[in-house]
Structure 1
């Protein structure tokens, strides 16, 4: 019942078909895009893309090369899921929810059965390695068709982190055009990225308003650097905690759709000389993308050269504008790919 209230604001709502069919499915192991998840267009897409970013981080920077791609896929997915759960549990504990055969609760009259939530069993761990091994042993519960894998992971996140969510008066999901979408999407994204469900993307806590007066309720932002980052071209500027993560992998919010941008060079975030010219790779999880887009970014710091004057009449792809929120004034070459987003 608590899960239902945190998600929907009451116990009578249930996940619709789009959510129930969502799981973590890779492309074919022998394909060029074997590391890519197939992402849905519905409300679960944002969650899938955060896990995609963590999968890329694991494959590029956390494990030695392997020749068995199907095994790599399972290990990477288990690592990505366990990373998020461990962060949500404040790096002290994590809870994994799985579905059993038997009903575990006796529903009340105002509770609507979904033949899924009522069968949950919770497994709690106090060592990160144990979380990863347990998820790897039960990986089919998250990646098999019909497993409700994304919902299971969302339930696991909520059970791992109850402090921010249980005290939040507004539920996470609401019904829009027949599909449940994230009501407090940024809070959920920040929970997945940083382990804290803060609703804003600036650094720290905002104590004062624009008029200089103390706010009745301080606005909570991001307090520490995340492993993978976040970029968004919007009025509310993303702070350096999210724009400069520990690894060069970013979840991008572009025109309300989610995708991933990454570099193969970890030094990009620690050596400013690497920012003169570098490669970024881009994937959006859509079936229409047949290869990873490679972009060449040329950038000069403000102390090295005067910024180029932008043509006020020229319209740039939204992906380029999103990249420039991190590298201001950068020139971007799509290397023969037709620009999109």
Structure 2
């Protein structure tokens, strides 16, 4: 009998202990969630800051802070800069404005898909050594605009013979990859700052402000410092010196670049770029944050114009004055933009991209095709300045995926129109017969014949 009682008491005691552990687990889960961390996979890291020490110090490798608890999505301490580097710490007020211009509120934060993205090149000295590796997701649009500017640097930013430009893309090593990425980021930020200023955001090893009940922490935004420059060469040098903060795994490199873009343009100017159709840069779609057109235009032209047509509309399609002007694209950038969507065509909602985006200064286009982003380009800089070049020419296509192992070269013939005659058999629905990329190209060169030169169309 006594043994049975003792067994029951022991079982009850073990059950009480399990309940206590569950209660403690719930308590710690609430604490971690309030700090923007996840309970699982948390690790303790001992940071070593890259700070300059006093001249009298004999130990230049001594860590300045003790070990601290870090979440699985926080930036590694090896990619954090010293708080004493001279940047401007992010203020709570500016953090709130940043969050609002991105999401429209202060409680949304970037999810794991965004936090894990950075600028990663394909294998050096390969057919695709110029190419950035991307994944499907909301951040891909930003990566592909940067990809377009990487191509701009590699094809037109270096002294190359015209006939060897495409070959040179296969001869890009790690050093040239870093140079190209730094040049691409610098170009975009400097343009957003109206070629007068640019700001680079980096994460430091210390939090810049204390927790605020009105601002959900995410383990890195609250540790930002802003570095502002008034000369383009200084921006480029600074980014080159800290390129690992954008291209290393765990760096949150795409988000840091997006923050830098916003502060280079300035939040006030971005709000002035908006119209009544847009109030923030990202929107939630199928559980992920995706770029609005305003953000794409900010990346491409330096202004967060919400629409793709040229200029500003003051009247509707019937000539009636609008209550508020609607803002389109005002300037032509180095990189252009093309858009095609089968779904939008079916619903007669395909936006009419204006000539400012269709005809950039250089023959490079970011393409939005059925909601996925890619790049078209030509090594012939004169393609858009000499009408005779547009009779028969080549375009190269990169879709950002690892499955593409070599360049896809398309031949564009703008003087043959037999595709339109063939199209009569399908009663005015060419998108049912032709690849979406072909239809995208025809938004720029209407009626063109596209030859994939033996490659099986993959878009």
The answer to whether the superposition gives a TM-score over 0.5 is: yes
Shift of 1:150: 0.2
How many angstroms apart in 2 are the aligned matches of 1:215 and 1:76? Answer: 44
How many angstroms apart in 2 are the aligned matches of 1:212 and 1:194? Answer: 28
Q: 1:172 aligns with which of 275, 281, 296?
A: 281
Paired position in structure 1 for 2:129: 34
Q: 2:338 aligns with which of 231, 245, 265?
A: 231
Q: Deviations over 1:21-63 (max 9, x none)?
A: 0000000112210000011211000000000000001100011
**Structure 1 vs Structure 2 CA RMSD:** 1.8
Tell me which protein shows more helix as a share of its residues. Answer: 2
Paired position in structure 1 for 2:360: 245
TM-score, scaled relative to structure 1: 0.94
Contact 2:419 2:449 survives alignment (8 Å): no
Shift of 1:6: 1.2
**Pair 1:90-2:90 in alignment:** no
Higher relative contact order, structure no. (Cα contacts within 8 Å, ≥ 6 residues apart): 1
How many angstroms apart in 1 are the aligned matches of 2:449 and 2:98? Answer: 46
Shift of 1:87: 1.0
How many aligned positions are there?
336
How many angstroms apart in 2 are the aligned matches of 1:267 and 1:95? Answer: 33
Q: 1:311 aligns with which of 415, 423, 427?
A: 423
**Pair 1:112-2:206 in alignment:** no
Paired position in structure 2 for 1:293: 408
How many angstroms apart in 2 are the aligned matches of 1:49 and 1:42? Answer: 12
Paired position in structure 2 for 1:264: 379
Shift of 1:68: 6.0
Contact 2:271 2:279 survives alignment (8 Å): no
Q: 1:19 aligns with which of 90, 102, 114?
A: 114
Pair member with larger Rg:
2
SS at match of 1:300: coil
Paired position in structure 2 for 1:3: 98
How many angstroms apart in 2 are the aligned matches of 1:27 and 1:127? Answer: 31
How many angstroms apart in 2 are the aligned matches of 1:288 and 1:64? Answer: 31
Paired position in structure 2 for 1:338: 456
How many angstroms apart in 2 are the aligned matches of 1:268 and 1:194? Answer: 20
SS at match of 2:446: coil
How many angstroms apart in 1 are the aligned matches of 2:423 and 2:271? Answer: 48
Shift of 1:166: 3.6
**Pair 1:48-2:150 in alignment:** no
Shift of 1:307: 9.2
Contact 2:246 2:252 survives alignment (8 Å): yes
**Pair 1:64-2:159 in alignment:** yes
Divergent runs of 4+, >6 A: none
How many angstroms apart in 2 are the aligned matches of 1:338 and 1:68? Answer: 26
Paired position in structure 1 for 2:290: 181
**Pair 1:276-2:391 in alignment:** yes
* Cα 1:201–1:176 shift into 2, 3 Å: closer
How many angstroms apart in 2 are the aligned matches of 1:296 and 1:68? Answer: 25
Q: 1:103 aligns with which of 176, 192, 207?
A: 207
